[in-house]
């Protein structure tokens, strides 16, 4: 028989069965569609030979008045600036602890810092900003040993002491509460992950779970009733702790042991936990009513909202303070971000209205400077051209208004001539109208809430976002839900789909890849606390794909020539900044440029293959009915628009939809640019095709599938 074309429609269809999705692609990884044809995505290269502490939660690229390019990255532990190939630590300091003393022991690198009621925790970072050491051979440590690098707190033996690890051992006689030092703690940003909470009013809904945590100092099985912690500093004499997703009540503390424990409290399940797992105090919270189920409310991950006011970086910690950093300072990279003067001190996020030069604080305080008055639906905006003034007067344009649909503001983004604000239930448009009202506020949608602060992106006149309870939405003058053939795969666990972890939905990150007309949402799957997959919408071709590319932030090619993105590694040990006593408790973040080359490459150019593939649904012979005849495929003709290196083609065969598809006898087939045809000897009722690569320096763009096929009986 003559060769037969097998046309396959662009995009993934993951809603139907493999047989129902005939003439469609049903699965793939690291692929995209251009002009209707599938191709492998571009590679990525590590930008800096450094790993940042904690998962990155926001990224911003911008230029100063001299045209110099910057990227700001906010993690759960740091705020850093990337400039000319290097990171610079600009993390704000919290209130300094003065008049601290030191205790050291001969032959030990452990030093105890003494300060009454210091309120610091295991894992906190800080710097010594002044040091005066005793003389007379008491210590061989120098001032530089303390002031050069950052320290991580290793243990907190008492409310009045904490320990650190020095870069060398003490060789003197040892200090005993001697010297005078000042400790400048890094500002507390929050948890490295989002999880279920407990207590009505958790987080931005009116209160916070007690911000005290430590780690397990044992491997805990599901039946044990005594729990050993690394430290019990800050934990009440009787109360409740949270380990992973289990709540455990206890009746007393002896040493570092919680005694009289009741496992699986508040309807949670008692399970085993590994040594070193984080343990949170779940006893005290500020709420508006009685405690709720552990599975109804969420504790937000430590996050940032980053924007620029001209050349000035504006950085807001989620439900915390707002900071600024000016690259025009005399020594900008030696200058840390500082609190924005006159601004609210507790806001869900901030955003700059570029057109009219106002700064908006969303989910902020009723009384400026009083975080206990934070209202998750209140919006404040600054005076025009003055982000330090928020109290309205008759002579300025500062003001406020409150949204009324939903429980909390989730996020906001600037459109062409408006700001779109999304709550957990509705969409609002804010527009500048000038005197006397300054801004207009209009609700433009209901039942269209957003899942997370960074799950929103503006592209060419439209705003796209992921829904609070699932689905994808777009606002282009009206709010509409986007149809999607990957919706079940992303939002449910039906049929073995990975689904999304709604409990960690707040860390979803959306971005634009303008090089390929794509909206990308990076999200955590059902069993993951961190981002581990992505879903992509090509808005020009209106097709969807999914892949395992996991990026915690992703910045489009606007300031830089290609996209810049961060990858979080849960077990990585950070090396930026240099931290004495550093652990991998918070994991680490690497920084990449994307759409470069064909491989995944580290900073030194060591390449690893990107194993991309795409697979079609089943097709059959349509002679005397669909699939009535067995088909015999004698050969196929490969057709690649681009093929560098090799590609593999596999023909998967089965007789009935319930059968497991297996490769044809001679496959998989290796294809290169000189391959003219492949002889197959394939015989079955249903057939599908898979195209893939598995080696470095391989890339491809597929064209049309042609096969030499003829009927071969009914059975």
Q: What is the pLDDT of residues 285-315, one digit of tens each?
A: 433 334 444 444 456 789 999 999 999 999 9
- Chain centroid to CA 417: how far? 28
As a whole number of angstroms, the distance between CA 71 and CA 564 comes to 9
**Cβ proximity of 362 and 315 under 8 Å:** no
Distances (CA, A) of 458 to 171, 476, 556: 59, 10, 11
**Cβ proximity of 286 and 203 under 8 Å:** no
Residue with tokens 């924007």: 307
Count CB-CB contacts under 10 A for residue 574: 25
The two structure tokens encoding residue 446: 């209901």
Q: CA quadruple 45, 51, 56, 62: dihedral positive or negative?
A: negative
The two structure tokens encoding residue 489: 């795969």
pTM of the model: 0.88
Where are any strands of DSSP class E within 64-139?
A: 69-75, 79-83, 86-89, 97-104, 110-114, 125-132
Segment 163-174 mean pLDDT: 97
* pLDDT confidence of residue 292: 43
* Exposure b/e, 635-650, CB count within 10 A at least 16 = b: bbebebeebbebbbbb
State residue 101 phi and psi, 5-degree precision. -125, 170
State residue 564 phi and psi, 5-degree precision. -115, 135
* pLDDT confidence of residue 204: 30
Burial of 477 (0-12, 13-18, 19+ CB in 10 A): exposed
- Chain centroid to CA 638: how far? 40
Segment 597-622 mean pLDDT: 95
* pLDDT confidence of residue 284: 54
**Cβ proximity of 87 and 578 under 8 Å:** no
For the chain, percent of residues with pLDDT exceeding 90 = 81
* pLDDT confidence of residue 713: 66
Confidence of residue 211 (pLDDT cuts 50, 70, 90): low
As a whole number of angstroms, the distance between CA 349 and CA 35 comes to 39
Residue 664 has pLDDT above 80, yes or no: yes
As a whole number of angstroms, the distance between CA 554 and CA 41 comes to 15
State residue 278 phi and psi, 5-degree precision. -70, 135
Segment 591-617 mean pLDDT: 97
Count CB-CB contacts under 10 A for residue 383: 22
**Cβ proximity of 243 and 261 under 8 Å:** no
Beta pairing, strands 600-601 & 213-215: unpaired
Across the chain, mean pLDDT equals 92
Segment 34-61 mean pLDDT: 97
């Amino acid at each position: 028989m003559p060769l037969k074309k097998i046309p396959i429609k662009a995009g993934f269809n993951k809603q139907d069965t493999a047989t129902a999705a005939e003439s469609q692609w049903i699965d793939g990884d690291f692929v995209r569609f251009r002009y209707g044809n599938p191709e492998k995505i571009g590679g990525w290269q590590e930008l800096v030979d450094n790993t940042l502490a904690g998962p990155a939660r926001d990224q911003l690229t911008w230029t100063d008045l001299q045209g110099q390019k910057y990227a700001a990255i906010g993690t759960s532990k740091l705020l850093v600036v990337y400039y000319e190939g290097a990171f610079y630590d600009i993390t704000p300091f919290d209130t300094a602890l003065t008049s601290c003393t030191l205790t050291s022991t001969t032959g030990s690198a452990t030093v105890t810092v003494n300060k009454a009621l210091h309120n610091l925790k295991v894992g906190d970072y800080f710097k010594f900003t002044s040091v005066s050491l005793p003389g007379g051979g008491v210590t061989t440590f120098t001032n530089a040993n303390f002031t050069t690098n950052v320290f991580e707190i290793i243990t907190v033996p008492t409310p009045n002491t904490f320990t650190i690890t020095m870069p060398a051992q003490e060789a003197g006689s040892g200090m005993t509460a001697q010297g005078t030092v000042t400790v400048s703690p890094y500002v507390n940003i929050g948890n490295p992950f989002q999880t279920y909470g407990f207590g009505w009013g958790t987080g931005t809904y009116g209160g916070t779970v007690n911000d005290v945590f430590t780690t397990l100092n044992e491997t805990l099985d599901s039946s044990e009733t005594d729990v050993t912690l690394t430290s019990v500093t800050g934990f009440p004499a009787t109360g409740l702790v949270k380990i992973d997703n289990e709540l455990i009540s206890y009746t007393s503390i002896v040493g570092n042991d919680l005694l009289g424990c009741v496992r699986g409290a508040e309807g949670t399940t008692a399970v085993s936990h590994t040594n070193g797992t984080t343990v949170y105090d779940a006893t005290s919270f500020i709420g508006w009513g009685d405690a709720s189920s552990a599975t109804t409310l969420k504790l937000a991950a430590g996050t940032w909202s980053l924007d620029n006011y001209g050349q000035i970086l504006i950085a807001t910690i989620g439900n915390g303070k707002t900071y600024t950093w000016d690259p025009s300072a005399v020594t900008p990279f030696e200058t840390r971000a500082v609190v924005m003067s006159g601004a609210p001190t507790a806001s869900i996020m901030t955003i700059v209205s570029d057109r009219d030069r106002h700064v908006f604080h969303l989910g902020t305080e009723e009384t400026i400077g009083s975080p206990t008055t934070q209202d998750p639906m209140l919006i404040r905006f600054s005076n025009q051209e003055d982000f330090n003034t928020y109290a309205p007067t008759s002579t300025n344009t500062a003001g406020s208004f409150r949204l009324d649909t939903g429980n909390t503001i989730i996020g906001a983004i600037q459109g062409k001539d408006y700001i779109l604000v999304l709550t957990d239930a509705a969409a609002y448009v804010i527009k500048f109208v000038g005197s006397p009202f300054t801004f207009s506020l209009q609700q433009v949608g209901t039942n269209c809430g957003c899942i997370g602060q960074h799950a929103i992106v503006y592209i060419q006149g439209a705003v796209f976002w992921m829904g609070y309870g699932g689905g994808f939405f777009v606002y282009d003058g009206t709010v509409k839900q986007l149809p999607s053939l990957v919706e079940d795969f992303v939002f449910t666990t039906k049929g073995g789909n990975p689904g999304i972890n709604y409990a960690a939905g707040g860390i979803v990150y959306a971005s634009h890849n303008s090089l390929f007309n794509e909206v990308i949402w990076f999200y955590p799957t059902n069993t993951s606390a961190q981002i581990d997959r992505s879903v992509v919408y090509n808005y020009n071709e209106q097709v969807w794909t999914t892949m395992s590319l996991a990026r915690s932030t992703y910045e489009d090619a606007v300031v830089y020539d290609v996209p810049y993105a961060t990858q979080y590694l849960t077990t990585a040990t950070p090396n930026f900044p240099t931290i004495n006593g550093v652990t991998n408790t918070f994991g680490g973040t690497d920084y990449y440029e994307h759409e470069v080359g064909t491989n995944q490459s580290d900073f030194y150019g060591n390449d690893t293959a990107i194993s991309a593939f795409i697979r079609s649904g089943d097709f059959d012979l349509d002679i005397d009915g669909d699939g009535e005849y067995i088909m015999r495929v004698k050969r196929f003709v490969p057709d690649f628009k681009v093929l560098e290196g090799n590609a593999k083609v596999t023909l998967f065969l089965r007789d009935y939809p319930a059968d497991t598809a297996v490769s044809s006898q001679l496959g998989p087939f290796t294809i290169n640019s000189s391959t003219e045809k492949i002889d197959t000897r394939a015989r079955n009722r249903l057939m599908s095709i898979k195209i893939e690569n598995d080696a470095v320096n391989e890339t491809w763009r597929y064209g049309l599938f042609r096969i030499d096929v003829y009927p071969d009986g009914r059975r």
